Structure 1
């Protein structure tokens, strides 16, 4: 793909002078450091240079404006950004949604966030709560759309309502296949029909393209997704956060390695080669040892595997991780599911809200009434039909 043929929503907004529609508006911007244009200029820099002090404040999502904070209830404070001193209001920690009094200070909120295409990634739920708040406040929301790095491929399970939490506030598949703008349109249709919402679409974006095909540099949207490959593995390996297996946090390969001091890698290697043949799965698993510098098993030697992706399109991260997790659970007595709290949820366990589907949970915990591939397809066809009319891009 030639660079000049593809434009982000941010680039379209300024290149086509759409910003002139907001000359007199007081605005806010929900963004972070991964929201750049092709020349590496920050979204909030571009806004400040055009709108000046009418950029009243910036909202930041989980991990903070500069994506430096670690995960799971490690909040970021309200602060001022270091270039022009614009106030930054955190939507992860002090609060999870905008305060109504703050919304009275502005006319419109722009949203420019790089999502990763996974239901449990909290940026889409920060967006959801912002849409809900602006719906009741009668404010306009404008989404500057960005790619879904994982393309339009969809993988279940579909979240069930009884498992709603801050890693899932609406019924989406684990790998949802939509851009942030399309998600906003879906949320509007389902919940906020009269919301004043606009999406500035990308130009030249083929929705079925994985991120490398776009020929843009990967900018990490959070500390533990430093590469595209870590993001591709994430929709499955994130389930490990609900267990006492390390998912690689505290190492230089988060989500691309996994393990624990108790893991029997000699026994597992033979199983894994049989369960995940490379020709079918597009993955090779290499035995390793590693020592996390923080998080689970800090300072302890873990035995495990590194995930080497050999075919991005063949690799199915959700089914891969669930099969892997069940194999380890069934063969290692020291395996455990972790207890609450997790992402501000104190009623349901981490694994329950991460998977978010009763039958898949039953399958994982030892009651496999149906094959996992069948369970993962449940309700996906309905979702695909529902979203067809809000999709903004062609294959």
Structure 2
């Protein structure tokens, strides 16, 4: 009898182990997919969208999805890189009409970064659905800020269809100081802020960062089955020069090179996956930038061979690193390594001075540890998802 009980127990354990091995995790589902959670909010309303090429619901664009559901779409507001995501970084995005749907396209990049009252007068609700990559200088969150401000001033509801943050498991870097506020850094947050756009919108409201501390009426449709511990591979490239997981992982650390004389690989098919300079001829990796339609027009060092590092050959786990910035500064022999753009990206004037003074990365990190610790405490108040810690 005892032997029979032992055998039965053994088979139960084996069966339960097998079940655990085949059990699948529930898929991460962005807010845009959950039409049942927000259609009631836009029923019989005049709706505008803040979207781009990342605003997909499966294989259908959100615009097409909502039109098929007979939502009354009035217009599309387009961020940097445009509605179709093919404009170069910094290139003026033009307003116009979408050929496929005949919807008016209103640019929010260029002179018109904040919607005017007249651009919102024929709209009841604004839906924001854009994939972010979790860095302070990625301008989609600046577009969200200005849209929140315009909605608050004109009494419009804003619905944010949340999406995962592919760098959402990191909070790191110097915290922006008010004197360095710009379109590539509007909030006192670190380089890697560790929030989804929905969580950041809650923080912008909660911390009173809109003009005159006004509050935007927001509804966040959260991501299902998402945690800040999750790795998330983007199904659509978020901008022309972030084409894959490696570029998105390297972007927080390499974007600061945009404020230096170093090329980040724009004008190649591996942007933000390699860095180099024409003078570094003793380095083993090389690339030659050229104009590529839809990715880079007239890139830095066009037609010149650059020498440096290929990050597909480097073991880098992600997060924020100053290692390569410090190394390349020390390797460069000229005094013009930094451009005027660097401090805007860094969000502070201290980082450049610290590198010039020869401080080590641990010493530099110690200088921002207090502000970063305070930010982490504030961040906790606005989390919608399980944290990585």
Shorter chain as denominator, the TM-score bin is 0.7 to 0.9
**Residue 225 to residue 2, structure 1, CA distance change in 2 (3 Å):** farther
Task: Judge conservation of contact 1:121–1:167 (CA < 8 Å) in 2.
Answer: yes
Give the CA deviation at 1:208: 1.6
Task: Judge conservation of contact 2:152–2:214 (CA < 8 Å) in 1.
Answer: no
Between the two proteins, the alignment pairs up a number of residues equal to 353
Is the partner of 1:138 in helix, strand or coil?
coil
Give the CA deviation at 1:180: 0.4
1:156 and 1:27 map into 2 onto residues whose CA distance is 37
2:66 and 2:335 map into 1 onto residues whose CA distance is 49
Give the CA deviation at 1:379: 1.1
**Residue matched to 1:371:** 363
2:219 and 2:350 map into 1 onto residues whose CA distance is 37
**Residue matched to 1:32:** 52
Task: Judge conservation of contact 2:47–2:125 (CA < 8 Å) in 1.
Answer: yes
Q: How does 1:27-106 map to 2 (within 5 A)?
A: 27-37=47-57, 39-52=58-71, 54-72=72-90, 74-106=91-123
Q: How does 1:62-211 map to 2 (within 5 A)?
A: 62-72=80-90, 74-191=91-208, 192=213, 194-211=215-232
Give the CA deviation at 1:335: 6.2
For residues 29-83 of structure 1, what are the alpha-carbon distances to aligned partners after superposition, in whole Å with 9 as ceiling and x for unaligned?
001111112x22111111222244x2100011100011101112x1111122232
Residue number among 268, 289, 310 corresponding to 1:292 in the alignment: 289
Tell me which stretches of 4 or more aligned residues in structure 1 moved more than 6 Å: none
Residue 346 (structure 2) pairs with residue 355 (structure 1): yes
Residue 39 (structure 2) pairs with residue 19 (structure 1): yes
For normalisation by structure 1, the TM-score amounts to 0.84
Is the partner of 1:308 in helix, strand or coil?
helix
For residues 289-333 of structure 1, what are the alpha-carbon distances to aligned partners after superposition, in whole Å with 9 as ceiling and x for unaligned?
111003110011111110127666x333x32xx332222222321
1:161 and 1:94 map into 2 onto residues whose CA distance is 22
Is the partner of 2:367 in helix, strand or coil?
helix
Task: Judge conservation of contact 2:136–2:189 (CA < 8 Å) in 1.
Answer: yes
**Residue matched to 2:3:** none
Is the partner of 1:88 in helix, strand or coil?
strand
Task: Judge conservation of contact 2:31–2:161 (CA < 8 Å) in 1.
Answer: yes
2:313 and 2:374 map into 1 onto residues whose CA distance is 30
Is the partner of 1:121 in helix, strand or coil?
coil
Unaligned stretches of 5+ in structure 1? 267-286, 340-348
Is the partner of 2:126 in helix, strand or coil?
strand
Task: Judge conservation of contact 1:360–1:375 (CA < 8 Å) in 2.
Answer: no
For the pair shown, the structure with the greater C-alpha radius of gyration is: 2
1:262 and 1:135 map into 2 onto residues whose CA distance is 51
Task: Judge conservation of contact 1:155–1:377 (CA < 8 Å) in 2.
Answer: no
1:157 and 1:84 map into 2 onto residues whose CA distance is 43
Give the CA deviation at 1:264: 4.2
Is the partner of 1:7 in helix, strand or coil?
coil
1:311 and 1:34 map into 2 onto residues whose CA distance is 28
**Residue matched to 1:7:** 29
1:26 and 1:2 map into 2 onto residues whose CA distance is 40
Comparing 156-165 with 2-11, greater Cα deviation is found at 2-11
Task: Judge conservation of contact 1:135–1:194 (CA < 8 Å) in 2.
Answer: yes
Is the partner of 1:372 in helix, strand or coil?
helix
For normalisation by structure 2, the TM-score amounts to 0.86
Unaligned stretches of 5+ in structure 2? 1-22, 291-297
